[in-house]
Amino acid sequence: MYQVPDQHGKLAVVTGANSGTGKEAAKRLARAGAHVVLAVRTPAKGEQARDEILAALPGARVEVRRLDLADLSSVRAFAAGLISEGRPLDLLLNNAGVMNVPRRTETADGFELQMGSNFLGPFALTVRLLPLLLAASAPRVATMSSGTASRARIDFDDLQSARRYSPTRAYAQSKLADLLMTVHLAELAARHAWPLLSAGAHPGYTRTNLMTSGPTLNGGRPGLLESLLYRIVPSQAPEQGAEPLLYAATGPDATAGGYYGPRWSMVGPTKAIPLPRSARDKSVAARLWTEAERLTGVSVQP
């Protein structure tokens, strides 16, 4: 079991922290002494997660704030709230996501839901919080991808899957986009001599409600093959599945642009893994970053 190093005096934001890997990551960071912000779409669920964490860790510093990554106005309000308080942000864990939505659905801003929630929302959040991150001494941004990213490519002609929609293809593209964001943020940090470390992770096959909440959205249901695979593919609990993200966020040997996942692909202890070939193309990463700036209206200030 990965032991999170001492985090006393640090402020951490964990998105999607009401359940699964997000809640586990928040709990482990709080146990290590961090002040943790549970950034959640539904505050009532966040309050329940906070109460569970406090029951296990009396005296932990945990708070709940609303954040809907599928709504750029919510991202703006969340970031503005933190910025107004002025405290440097040490850790941003981009964990929240939605998976395999059966029918094409749009966010409040007209983005395909998986691309909007999994990539464009986290992109806007990360860029908006950069001033607070760069005010910290050794900030990190850890972004959760997926093993499915290795089977994806970025379709710049149909980024929102408007011409042709496949739940699994849209999900995989959004998670590849997360990796490309991770890579380009590391490039920007190196170029500008920022102290920021940007690293990626994937949880393997971890048993969380991600597997069911997306496929059942809008009255959908997982297909027969999908349901069967959920039962027979080796899987692990969130306690193990959260570790790659925690390592990216706090590991002493984590590297800029590094990628971390389970030793045996689907399950196992965390190890450094190679980036998929599709995530290594820096020209694609730069082009996607520029497109994300255009779509979200959020850009890095010189």
Active-site residue set = 171
Confirm if 251 and 192 have CB atoms less than 8 A apart: no
Strands 35-40 and 140-144: unpaired
Strands 259-264 and 197-201: parallel
End-to-end CA distance of the chain: give it in Å, rounded: 41
Confirm if 93 and 15 have CB atoms less than 8 A apart: yes
| Token pair for 216 | 């059942």
As a 3-state breakdown, the chain gives helix, strand, coil percent values, each rounded to 5, of 45, 15, 40
Query: Burial code of 116-130, b = ≥16 C-beta within 10 A, e = fewer?
Result: bbbbbbbbbbbbbbb
Unique residue bearing structure tokens 């990360």: 126
The three-state secondary structure class of 118 is helix
* Amino acid making up residue 226: E
Confirm if 2 and 270 have CB atoms less than 8 A apart: yes
Helices (H), 57-204: 72-85, 113-115, 121-133, 167-192
Confirm if 103 and 218 have CB atoms less than 8 A apart: yes
Confirm if 240 and 248 have CB atoms less than 8 A apart: no
What phi, psi does 10 have (nearest 5°)?
-100, 150
Unique residue bearing structure tokens 């539904």: 42
Confirm if 162 and 106 have CB atoms less than 8 A apart: no
